[in-house]
Each structure stands twice: as C-alpha cells, then as structure tokens.
Structure 1
Amino acid sequence: MADTAIFDVDGTLVDTNYQHALALYRAFRHFDITLPMWRLHRAIGMGGDQIIAHVGGDEIERRHGSELREAWVEEFDKMIDEVRPFDGAHDLMEAVKSRGFRLVLASSGQSKHVDHFLDLIDGKSLADAYTTSDDVEASKPEPDLVATALEKVDGASGVMIGDSTWDCIAAGKLDVPSLAVRTGGFSVEELTDAGAERVFDSLRELADKLDDTPLARSAR
C-alpha cells in the first residue's frame, strides 16, 4: 500500500498541453524550423531538458537548445492566462488527501508557472509539498521527479497520477504504480502501453472510482 499520492500538474490538473505544443511549435519557427504539431503534442509531458533533442534531434539541441527553451517560455507566457484548471481538480486532491495520503504536486516546470497553476487549483492549501524544475537534474521520462516527490515528504511508497506517457514511464522506472487521465490528449492504448494501471477519461471519473485504485486507502 502507498502512503503518498504524486500528482503531475501540467495536463493533469490544469489544461496546458495544447498551449505547450503550440508554444513549442512557435519556438521552433523562431529558427525557421517547422515540425508537425502532432509529433510535438506526443512529446508534451517530457521535460524541457529532454524534449528538444527528442523532437528535433541532437544537432538542433546542440545548436539552439537553450535559445529554443527560452523561446518556448516566451511563447507560452503569451497564453498562460488562457490556462484553466480541469473540472474536479481540487475536489480530487481533497478526496485523496482525506484518505490519509501525503500529497505532492510534482511539476518539472518553471517556478513562476508552477506558482500560477497551484493558485488556479488552490493546491498549496492541500499539498504537503510541490516540485519545480529547480528540484531535479533530469526531467521526465527520467525518474528524478518521482523520487524527489517522495523524498520531500519522507514517503515510503507512492502512486503517480498523470496524463502523459512520460509520467507513467518515469514512475515505472522506480516501480511506482501510475494512474492516468486522458486530459492530456493521449489515448488509452498509449497510456497503458507506457505502464498505467488504469486510465480514466476525467478527474471526476477517477474521483468516483478511487475505491478501485491504489488510492482507496493510505498505508499511513
């Protein structure tokens, strides 16, 4: 049994994936590079230190990596006021917390973005801890974020709740079970193939079915 619930933020609790994909597309266009949006979307959820090489190749990372990440942030900042929380985000966190779990909101995003998103979902009133890119050396699909989340609350075992394949892969590297919601735009098959134990269409559905998941009751 787990004692810690680790919630991804971007794409899971707040609706950001398509803004991120568009911002990344526009960032590449700063350098006259055009990549297909569908491929960019499939990489969203991977951390900024990983994603440029993944979608553009090692040569683009070497030549433009830092500037592309800066442009991505610049373009995303233009859309950040459009970001809204998903229906039921705060209620789900509250339900999980009430079952005795430590609650960590695990993001590898920039501090200014994480703060904004946590305000949208009133996350700081419930979370025992949260993470930003400052807390990890390597982001998803590496497992650093999951490990850091557990360390921040002295958790013995966790459950990862995310929206992307990268959440599930990162958790699986530490044998942490993962639950996925389709809020990020990934298919059931993609998420289960990446290691998700269960996939839910929405946060409301997950909240309604907590008793059928590892979040039914905490080990604490």
Structure 2
Amino acid sequence: MSDTILFDIDGTLVDTNYHHAVAWFRAFRRFDVTVPVWRIHRAIGMGGDRLVAAVAGDDVEDRCGDGVRDAWKQEFDPMLHEVRLFDGARDALAAAKDRGWRVVLASSGAREHIEHYVKLLEFEALGGDRWISGDDASGTKPDPELLEVALDGYDGRAVMVGDSVWDCEAAERISLPCVALRTGGTGAGELLSAGAVQVHETLPALREAYDGLPFAPVSPS
C-alpha cells in the first residue's frame, strides 16, 4: 500500500483563477449580463455547470447557460498560452515522488486545458501516476465524484491539496483531508471554515510541511 497525494490543478499548480474570472465576465457580457468579477472569482473551482446559476441566478442559467459556457471557452482558449506554473509546482510534485507517494492530478477543467497543464508540469517525466479532467466524471465540485474517480483502485492513505472552498467541501464529503493553498486568492479563514485541515501560502511552504501532512485511509473502489 502507498500514500497518495491528490492535487487540484487550476489555482493550485497553475496560476489560472483570475484568467478564468475574466473569461467568465466576458462570456456573460456577450449575453448582456454583468456579473462583478469579484463574485465570479469566489465561484472559481466550482464546476462550470453550476457556476452560471450560482453567480447570475437560475433565470440566466435557463435563458443562456449553455451559451455562456461555450463563450467562456472561446474567451479562455486564447489566454492559455499566458498560463504559468506557480513557483515550486514541479518541485512539489518531484518531492512527493521522492517520498514514494503516488501523485495524482484532478481537475474539473476541459481535457484539452488539462493536457496543456500536464505538459507544462512535465508530469510524466516527474513520474506522475494519474491525471484526470472534467471529462472523466459527470459530477463537478463540490460534488466529490471527480475525487473518487481520481482515487479509484488505490488503497493505503490519501490527502488532497487544493485552493478553493469547493475543493475543501468536495474532499470533506468523502472524509478525505484537504490541505489548502492561498494561491487561488481565498483567505485562510474561509478555507478552514470550508473544511481545510491545513492552509499554506505557497507550494514551497507546502513542500516544507510534507512531514506533517494529514493522510487518511482510503479504500479501493
């Protein structure tokens, strides 16, 4: 049996949360809907199937939800080349592998976006074990299905690393400890209230705390 560390990607390993917020803002404006960017930012990490109603209401979802989601992708795709890794992202993954842990990545993002981030991270060269995208699960955060798929077949112990309240809530629903980072732009108090068991400012700070990560038992599905 091995320990597994499960990383969220957007806002945790790659600096994309504010790109996503701007892309959603522009997508809404195509339909003459104005949502404050701060409100959109607070929903980043939630699945896109939930976000429109969450920030703009059920009426907007019913009227143009699918159109807004299509427009978000059209707005975000040109920004993809601007995306950069957070400082220490590769080192955090490499240090986990050096400890003999399985390293798994899970994001509810579009598969083509996740493939791009996996290449940026040099995930295969680092010995990463598995990565999944939103195409691999029907439920989106805070639904825990994506996490369950990511851990499917693994035994031993596991811990999750994320950046949003939605990561924390999804992990808590399956009794998976979630260690949160401030890199997504959410305050420590809010992350702790959402269920985070630890909060760290950066990936280098997380790596320095690897000895104290709160792994918990998981059972293979």
Q: In which range does the TM-score fall when normalised by the shorter chain?
A: over 0.9
1:56 aligns with 2:21: no
Residue equivalent to 1:213:
213
- 4+ aligned runs moved over 3 Å, structure 1: none
Say whether the 8 Å CA contact 1:150–1:156 is kept in structure 2.
no
Change (3 A) 1:60 1:188: same
Secondary structure of the residue that 1:51 maps to in structure 2?
helix
Say whether the 8 Å CA contact 1:2–1:214 is kept in structure 2.
no
Superposed displacement of residue 158, structure 1: 2.0
The CA distance in 1 between the partners of 2:103 and 2:172, in whole Å, is: 19
Change (3 A) 1:204 1:60: same
CA displacement, residues 55-95 of structure 1 (integer Å, 9 cap, x when unaligned):
11112112111111110011011211111000100110111
Superposed displacement of residue 127, structure 1: 1.8
The CA distance in 1 between the partners of 2:76 and 2:89, in whole Å, is: 22
List aligned pairs for 1:1-220, cutoff 5 A. Answer: 3-125=3-125, 126-151=127-152, 153-214=153-214
The CA distance in 2 between the partners of 1:2 and 1:198, in whole Å, is: 22
Superposed displacement of residue 157, structure 1: 3.8
Q: Structure 2 counterpart of 1:132, which letter?
A: S
TM-score in terms of structure 2 length: 0.93
Residue equivalent to 2:219:
none
Say whether the 8 Å CA contact 2:159–2:213 is kept in structure 1.
no
Say whether the 8 Å CA contact 1:150–1:157 is kept in structure 2.
no
Change (3 A) 1:156 1:79: same
Superposed displacement of residue 2, structure 1: 7.4
CA displacement, residues 167-191 of structure 1 (integer Å, 9 cap, x when unaligned):
0100000000000111100000111
CA displacement, residues 166-219 of structure 1 (integer Å, 9 cap, x when unaligned):
10100000000000111100000111011111100100001111112226xxxx
The CA distance in 2 between the partners of 1:190 and 1:124, in whole Å, is: 34
Superposed displacement of residue 155, structure 1: 3.6
- Give unpaired runs (5+ residues) of structure 2: 216-221
Secondary structure of the residue that 2:124 maps to in structure 1?
helix
The CA distance in 1 between the partners of 2:90 and 2:134, in whole Å, is: 23
Identity %: 50
TM-score in terms of structure 1 length: 0.93
Say whether the 8 Å CA contact 1:157–1:176 is kept in structure 2.
no
Say whether the 8 Å CA contact 2:52–2:60 is kept in structure 1.
yes
The CA distance in 2 between the partners of 1:148 and 1:117, in whole Å, is: 19
Say whether the 8 Å CA contact 1:102–1:155 is kept in structure 2.
no
Say whether the 8 Å CA contact 1:161–1:179 is kept in structure 2.
yes
